[in-house]
Chain A
Amino acid sequence: MAEIIDMPKLSDTMSVGTLVKWNIKEGQTVAFGDILGEVETDKATMELSCTVPGTILKIYAPAGSQLPVGAPICAIGKKGEAAPEPSAAPAPKAPATAVPAIPEKAEVSCVPAAPASSGSVAAQSDASRAKASPYAKRMAEKAALNVAALAGSGPGGRVVGRDVAAAASAPAVAAPSGPINVAVAPPADGKGIQPDADVPVGGMRQTIARRLLESKVTVPHFYLEVEVDAAPLMAMRESLNKRLAEAGADAIKLSVNDFILKASAEALRRVPAVNASWAGTSIRTHGAVHLSFGVALEDGLVTPVIRDAHAKTLKDIAVEAKSLIGKARSKKLTPNEMSGSTFTVTNLGMYGVTGFFGIINVPNAAILSVGATIKKPVVDAQDRLVIGHRMVIGLSGDHRVVDGANGAQFLQALKQLLEEPALMLI
């Protein structure tokens, strides 16, 4: 008798899972404990181990697909047996036949740190152990709401049925109560610039809210700033792009950001102490530079990752960044393409922002914030007042991992690379 394996519920708050990859093919024989594939939740990527030995009869969900908890993902049975037809609309249910491997196997990625590390654990467990009545939890599951994100009106802030009912039925009406009770008078002229409303928060916004709050309150940020002469970089970019354009119609065009990504990877090679993570009782150093960079979307932002950036040429990086940006805008990024970074670069230069400091993308030890290149008067080496092309770069560092001195050394290396961009090409 064939058994249908469902998308397992791997955390209290999980309603949807992404099948990151399959390790198995249809027709393959699997034994108890075999790792069938990987599932990414809102928290971590976990291995899916086999609890039903047999032959993989059918894979219902291809790698990369997002499925609600309880949806059929594959069927296991006797060799030659017909694969059962999964019912059309599976009801979400607890895992019956597939169990996750132990959480310690969660990939070290840009998701909140694995349970072994400290710091973020408290915040994470608070969310998954949200105080809610059993009835409220069941209601929230049915309504596909995250009970941890609701304000509880019961004793001690417990989320009760009425809170879930209010969240599910009337998102446009202000919540009756809660820890954040925003009481603002409506526009006096009755028109205003937008409706007064409580807009329900989607998964990406919740992830941003949770992860950045966790970072800002648990990571001791410190900030360094350096001003770079961007004129040589601009000149080289212009000349390279001109030559590349002559090479053909499908030629690539290098962006300022591509240079900064390349320079960051190179600067991290020179000051590897910044390419590390706080791991609770140890500092984990990373051999590879997996560079993450922010891509703004209409409803939030994502941070795709260029793997092994330390070993890639400027051109490789430019091509890969372009492809990732395209995927990000069409929401085709896989969880794998958004996880596992060791350093992050953000850039608001295109908006004319002259300088800023980003919030560290845990478990990175630092984030680079790039401002616009602007013309302004500068005093040159010969003490003459000249027109300079200046770019302000900020570094937010995790002081548990990085100190002021090695943070400064990193910026020094970066400054040198950007001011003498030919160094990037060797």
Chain B
Amino acid sequence: MAVISYREALRAAMREELKRDDKVVIMGEEVAQFNGAYKVTEGLLKEFGPKRIVDTPISEAGFIGLGIGASMLGIRPVMELMFWSFSYVAFDQIVNNAGNIRYMSGGLINCPIVIRGPANGGTNVGATHSHTPEAILASHPGIKVVCPATPYDAKGLLKAAIRDNDPVYVMENTILYNDKGEVPDEDYIVPLGVADVKREGTDLTIVAHGRAVITSLKAAEILEKEHGVSVEVVDLRSIRPLDEETILASVRKTHRALLVEENKPFCGVDAQVAYLIQSKAFDELDAPIHRVSSIDAPQIYCKRMEDQQLPDVNRVVREALKVLA
């Protein structure tokens, strides 16, 4: 099994799907000639040519609309957003059109579009470039949202997204692009809506997604070494569809839950997960559910302060010990 980066895993997913299905096209700002703003699409123009790898104007509303229209006619576009923060100018396309067309056409029209790109804070790019809209988008029926945390999941989820017949929005993380991990050489997908137990444990369940999974795994190490606590880390991978059963099975085992996400807390993904746990596993809970999320303020520009704003290992350890009290 090859050890490759998260960025290379995403590229491999697109490359394999471009080869497998000639309806797959890549579109976005700087994806072709510049090899991608974050070099995720590097080399694809050279290999697949300008009909499959298409540079677009700096107009998200325009090119996302183009992609949605193309997908309704049988193309399977993979659209890159330089930042998911820019999706806000294309919100009507992303939510209203892509999310509703299958329902409003009575199932006659599919919209197999994939929109991908980084959605994260922590890189000192300011409040307008650091949004994490997975909760906002997942609140719309008709839309699927995934947040891979590892190279393996990045490749498997992106391939599953491309093959899915509904709009799937893949939220990546620029801080993870250089993380390396084992990725199989053979074809595989990670099904949408299936969470993954990244670490098994018996005393506490941490539910996380995206980079918060990596933070939580590090916190779990410390909790085990320094506090003798056995922590299970559940990686949601898909925000919607949500794998309720894996979350509940873990809580039924450990009876305590800590939810970690890099989203802002208000109406975050974990607000929904907390509701799920208390409604379906109330009698299993031995302590109140706690959450660790980004501090509830516009993304702070000062790098040192922004580092504090995001959930870090220390904060996860501290909060875990509170749940375990």
Residues of A that sit less than 8 Å from B by CB: 133-138, 154-155, 160-161
Contacts and interface: CB of A to CB of B under 8 A. Distances in A.
A123 B156 CA distance: 59
A113 B284 CA distance: 34
Interface residues of B, number: 8
Contact of A138 (B283, B287, B325): B283
Interface in B275-299: 282-287
Contacts of A161: 255, 286
A135 B255 contact: yes
Contacts of B286: 133-136, 154, 160-161
B325 A135 contact: no
Interface of B: 255, 282-287, 325
A134 B282 contact: yes
B147 to A, nearest CB: 30
Most buried by B among A133, A135, A160: A135
Contacts of A134: 282-286
Contacts of A133: 255, 285-287
Nearest to B251: A135
A155 B255 contact: no
Nearest to A132: B286
A135 B283 CA distance: 5
B283 A154 contact: no
Interface of A is mostly: helix
Contacts of B283: 134-135, 137-138
A231 B286 CA distance: 65
B325 A154 contact: yes
A154 B255 CA distance: 14
A134 B280 CA distance: 12
Given A138-B284, A154-B286, 9 more contacts: A133-B285, A133-B286, A134-B282, A134-B285, A135-B283, A137-B283, A154-B287, A154-B325, A155-B287
Contacts of A136: 286
21 contacts: A133-B255, A133-B285, A133-B286, A133-B287, A134-B282, A134-B283, A134-B285, A134-B286, A135-B255, A135-B283, A135-B284, A136-B286, A138-B284, A154-B286, A154-B287, A154-B325, A155-B287, A160-B286, A160-B287, A161-B255, A161-B286
B278 to A, nearest CB: 9
Nearest to A164: B286
Contacts of B287: 133, 154-155, 160
A69 to B, nearest CB: 16
Nearest to A155: B325
Contacts of B255: 133, 135, 161
A158 to B, nearest CB: 8
A161 B284 CA distance: 10
Nearest to B255: A135
B257 to A, nearest CB: 11
A160 B286 CA distance: 6
B286 to A, nearest CB: 4
Contacts of A138: 283-284
A137 B284 CA distance: 10
A97 B310 CA distance: 52
A187 B287 CA distance: 39
Pairs A-B, 9 closest by C-beta atoms: A135-B286, A161-B286, A133-B286, A138-B283, A134-B283, A135-B255, A160-B286, A155-B325, A134-B285
Most buried by A among B282, B284, B285, B286: B286
A138 B287 CA distance: 13
Contacts of B284: 134-135, 138
A136 B283 CA distance: 8
B31 to A, nearest CB: 51
A137 B282 CA distance: 11
Contacts of A154: 286-287, 325
Nearest to A138: B283
Nearest to A156: B325
A255 B5 CA distance: 94
Nearest to A160: B286
A350 to B, nearest CB: 50
Contacts of A160: 286-287
B255 to A, nearest CB: 5
A130 to B, nearest CB: 15
A221 B263 CA distance: 61
A177 B220 CA distance: 27
A309 B257 CA distance: 61
